[in-house]
């Protein structure tokens, strides 16, 4: 019995693969390397001392995906594969809807054909939109402001509708807050292409000397220091949340929705300060104008995941900074 991990070569997928292997699960990874590199697979093996099957397959390729199910005894799927850049999704909505939505549909169709009806889906705090006040609970009204967010909201809807049509399904929709950090070994981490959109890879690239300074997008928000507040979560804590979600869907049916966050909001300047304290490396920054579409504050209420999954985060913001830095400084060019 194996867990199929789509997008397992990516940032969150690789960390989750390590945690699953360390916990004794057999895994099969599917990835098309559209946003990752094959070297990550060697690192996962090195860190765990365990082997696993890998298929260079696009989730949109129904026949190839079906073959993966025919050749393996898949019990459940964790579905990470998808495109994830907000800005890119605004510029290329067709790509985003095509890859993310069609990917969900083809995966679900192939799963049903092979009678595999347990799935963990990567959703995002972006589905809470711009109008809710943090801390965010799972029952709040949802909305989106860009095509990427819409693919996540539609993805949630697709899996809810599949359950309505067939009550044998067991589905966990996980809404991630802001994953940062890396495996404490410094061997796997986030490896963005080009100029990073997200703050932590930008900070580490400034710290390593690849970029001159951080642009802080606005200091006139209604927050404790005027800069944007987010719920940063260590990627290893996030990965462990997937183990709990897998355990949950093994024993139940229905659709379960969980926030995966720390419940604590830190500002951009808090993050810079913690990074400098944790690493001893200075991060020069300038205040620039707000980034369109950004909100002042976004952080989770993680109580439901604690109650129902017995999961909570363990790592601090300093751990996140230290581990991001270890990854970046040991791998200045990524994989």
Smaller CB separation from ligand UDP, 75 or 294: 294
In the shown chain, the binding pattern of residues 191 to 210 toward ligand NAD, with x for contact by CB under 6 A and - for none, equals --------------------
Contact 16, 10 (CB under 8 A): no
Quick check: is 97 catalytic?
no
Which of 248, 298, 250, 256 has the alpha carbon at shortest distance from 130?
298
295 in contact with ligand NAD (CB under 6 A)? no
Total of residues contacting ligand UDP (CB under 6 A): 14
Q: How far apart are CA 235 and CA 155, in angstroms?
A: 22
Angle between helices 11-22 and 235-251 (to 10 degrees): 60
Q: Which of 148, 202, 232, 258 is catalytic?
A: 148
Q: Which is nearer to ligand NAD, 82 or 263 (CB)?
A: 82
- Residue 217 lies near ligand UDP (rule: CB under 6 A): yes
Interface with ligand NAD (CB under 6 A), residue from 22, 26, 39, 60? 60
The length of the chain in residues reads 335
Window 73-92: contact mask with ligand NAD (x via CB under 6 A): -------xxx-x--------
In the list 34, 67, 137, 146, the residue contacting ligand NAD (rule: CB under 6 A) is 34
How far is 248 from 37, CA to CA, in rounded Å?
31
Q: Are 5 and 29 in contact (CB under 8 A)?
A: yes
Q: What is the CA radius of gyration of the chain?
A: 19
DSSP state of 9: T
**First-last CA distance in the chain:** 30
Question: Residue 119 binds what, of ligand UDP, ligand NAD, none (CB under 5 to 8 Å, by partner type)?
Answer: none
CB of 70 to ligand UDP, least distance (A): 38
Bridge partners (DSSP) of residue 26 are 2
Q: Is 183 a binder of ligand UDP (CB under 6 A)?
A: no
Contact with ligand NAD (CB under 6 A) among 54, 176, 258, 327: 176
Peptide bond into 135 cis (omega under 30): yes
207 binds ligand UDP (CB under 6 A): no
Q: Residue 291 binds what, of ligand NAD, ligand UDP, none (CB under 5 to 8 Å, by partner type)? A: ligand UDP
Q: Is 162 in the site for ligand NAD (CB under 6 A)?
A: no
Q: Which does 217 bind (CB under 5 to 8 A by kind): ligand UDP, ligand NAD, none?
A: ligand UDP
CA 261/CA 230 separation, integer angstroms: 10
Q: How many CA atoms lie within 13 A of 184 on its CB side?
A: 7
For 212-227, the three-class secondary structure string (H helix, E strand, C coil) is CCEEEECCCCCCCCCC
In whole angstroms, the minimum distance from the beta carbon of 198 to ligand UDP comes to 4
Identify whether the C-beta of residue 201 lies closer than 8 Å to the C-beta of residue 210.
no
- In the complex, the smallest distance separating the C-beta of residue 121 from ligand NAD, rounded to whole angstroms, is 8
Question: Which residues contact ligand UDP (rule: CB under 6 A)?
Answer: 178, 197-199, 202, 214-217, 228, 230, 268, 291, 294
Active-site residue list: 148
């Amino acid at each position: 019995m194996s867990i199929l991990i789509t997008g397992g070569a990516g940032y969150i997928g690789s960390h989750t693969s390590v945690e699953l292997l360390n916990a004794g699960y057999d895994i099969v990874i599917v990835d098309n390397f559209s946003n990752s590199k094959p070297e990550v697979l060697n690192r996962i093996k090195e860190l765990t001392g365990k082997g696993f099957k890998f298929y260079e397959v696009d989730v949109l390729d129904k026949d190839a995906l079906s073959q993966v199910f025919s050749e393996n005894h898949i019990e459940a799927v964790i579905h990470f594969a998808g495109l994830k850049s907000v800005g890119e999704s605004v510029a290329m909505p067709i790509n985003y809807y095509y890859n993310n939505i069609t990917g969900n549909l083809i995966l679900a169709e192939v799963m049903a054909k092979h009678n595999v009806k347990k799935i963990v889906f990567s959703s995002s705090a972006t589905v809470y939109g711009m109008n809710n006040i943090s801390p965010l609970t799972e029952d709040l009204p949802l909305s989106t402001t860009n095509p990427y967010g819409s693919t996540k909201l539609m993805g949630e809807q697709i899996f809810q509708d599949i359950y309505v049509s067939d009550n044998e399904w067991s589905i966990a929709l996980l809404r991630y807050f802001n994953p940062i950090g890396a495996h404490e070994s410094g061997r796997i981490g986030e490896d963005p292409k080009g100029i990073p959109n997200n703050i932590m890879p930008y900070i580490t690239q400034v710290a390593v000397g690849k970029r001159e300074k951080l642009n802080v997008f606005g200091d006139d928000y209604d927050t404790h220091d005027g800069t944007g507040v987010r719920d940063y979560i260590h990627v290893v804590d996030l990965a462990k949340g997937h183990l709990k979600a897998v355990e949950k869907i093994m024993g139940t049916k229905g659709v379960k929705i969980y926030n995966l966050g720390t419940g604590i909001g830190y500002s951009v300047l808090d993050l810079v300060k913690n990074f400098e304290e944790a690493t001893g490396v200075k991060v020069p920054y300038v205040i620039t104008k707000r980034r369109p579409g950004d909100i002042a504050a976004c952080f989770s209420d993680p109580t439901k995941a604690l109650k129902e999954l017995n999961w909570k985060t363990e790592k601090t913001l300093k751990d996140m900074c230290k581990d991001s830095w270890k990854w970046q400084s040991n791998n200045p060019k990524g994989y």
